[in-house]
Structure 1
Amino acid sequence: MSKKPIIAEKVKAAKRIAAISVPFPEKFIKSAELKYLKSKPIVSPTAPRGHLKMRYTKERADRVGKWSWGQMRKWDKATWDATIFPHISGYKSKTWLEIENEVSGKHKRNKSYPIYKICPEAQARLVDIQLEDLDEIFRFRVGFTQRLYGFRICDVFFILWWDPEHKIYPLSRD
């Protein structure tokens, strides 16, 4: 039996699976237009995101109020233009697997954390903005102390917080 028909069938099956529409989490699309995304996030019940190119949106960012350490949650235009945008847009040509495998010294440059590992104030803020049911948060290392936090829903990174002082996941943990 030739391997060609088997491979062709697997490709057809993968395309059928990829075409299945899984409900996109409502909390990310309610009150957000997602106008910067040209299409809905790619969602497949069986396909890992590793091979997908990263996309992002800042339309669900939490930019109201300030943290107890004095940092405003709303970043200014200069910070977006000079720091956040160049960094995050540089990842658009990479797959999630490439992003997850980047290292800085001995450590992963970008990674996800279980929600319980971020500072208590950030955990409480997730409850305030009704995102407490999500299990993990992803962060990009932007600079020595600068971090960009958000949630990944398939191929899309939903920017949530800009943390220029490394306070959301402090370096010194008890």
Structure 2
Amino acid sequence: MAKKKRLPKQSGNVNASKKAEIKAHAANVGRRGKHVSADARKPVSSLEDTFKWSAKMLDHAHDGSWNWKLAPTELRELFCFIEEMSCLAWKDILQQTSGGHNKHHTQKTDSLEKEAQDRLYEVMSKENEDFPEEVFRFRLNAKTRLWGIRTGSIFRILWYDRDHAVYRVKKRHT
């Protein structure tokens, strides 16, 4: 094992602000002396991370086919579902199936109903965020979906869709 080279002590005191400046610079520089952005230094979310959620982006202003006027039974079902997901890692959530299909998955935004795409654009503009290529949807039951945007381990809730109005599917075997 090679010995580490020790640097000679500098004469004189380096003031606290200079030390802080040097530390900050060192934190932003990679191994080869290149600047590393703050985003690149953030840890990448793993599928091992536990599900977390946020209601900051909740689209409560929409009063169309999907809205947040939940009946007490819907509210209870939603909270029970979120509580259940909060105990799981994302890898476990993504492995859940129903009828041979993934219960919870991403959906390309260009495949959503036009009304949903327009609402998503409005919400993202209001939040000063870029329009996402895909959104994430949870299957609560046969008809009900919970839509949002997954950012790392955080699911940012957008819509409660009680009747497949955000993404219409053709009925099978009819």
The structural deviation recorded for 1:49 is 2.7
Matched residue, 1:56: 53
Matched residue, 2:28: none
The structural deviation recorded for 1:48 is 4.4
Contact 2:113–2:167, Cα closer than 8 Å, also in 1: yes
Contact 2:45–2:153, Cα closer than 8 Å, also in 1: no
Pick from 2, 22, 26 the counterpart of residue 39 of structure 2.
22
The structural deviation recorded for 1:57 is 1.5
1:65 and 2:82 are equivalent in the alignment: no
- Tell me the secondary structure at the aligned position of residue 140 of structure 1: strand
The structural deviation recorded for 1:94 is 0.8
Contact 2:137–2:148, Cα closer than 8 Å, also in 1: yes
- Percent same amino acid at aligned positions? 23
Give the whole-Å Cα distance in 2 for the aligned partners of 1:48 and 1:59: 20
Contact 2:52–2:153, Cα closer than 8 Å, also in 1: yes
Pick from 155, 162, 165 the counterpart of residue 163 of structure 2.
165
TM-score with structure 2 length normalisation? 0.67
Alignment CA distance shift 1:79-1:159 (3 Å): farther
Give the whole-Å Cα distance in 1 for the aligned partners of 2:134 and 2:104: 13
Contact 1:123–1:132, Cα closer than 8 Å, also in 2: no
Tell me how many residue pairs correspond in the alignment.
Answer: 130
TM-score with structure 1 length normalisation? 0.67
The structural deviation recorded for 1:60 is 1.6
Give the whole-Å Cα distance in 1 for the aligned partners of 2:146 and 2:104: 9
The structural deviation recorded for 1:75 is 3.1
The structural deviation recorded for 1:155 is 0.7
Provide structure 1 residue ranges, at least 5 long, that are not aligned to the other structure.
Answer: 1-19, 24-42
Give the whole-Å Cα distance in 1 for the aligned partners of 2:73 and 2:133: 29
1:90 and 2:84 are equivalent in the alignment: yes
Give the whole-Å Cα distance in 1 for the aligned partners of 2:166 and 2:113: 5
Bigger Rg, structure 1 or 2: 2
- Tell me the secondary structure at the aligned position of residue 50 of structure 1: coil
Contact 1:126–1:132, Cα closer than 8 Å, also in 2: no
Q: Which structure 1 residue ranges, 4+ long, deviate > 4 Å from structure 2?
A: none
The structural deviation recorded for 1:22 is 2.5
The structural deviation recorded for 1:21 is 5.4
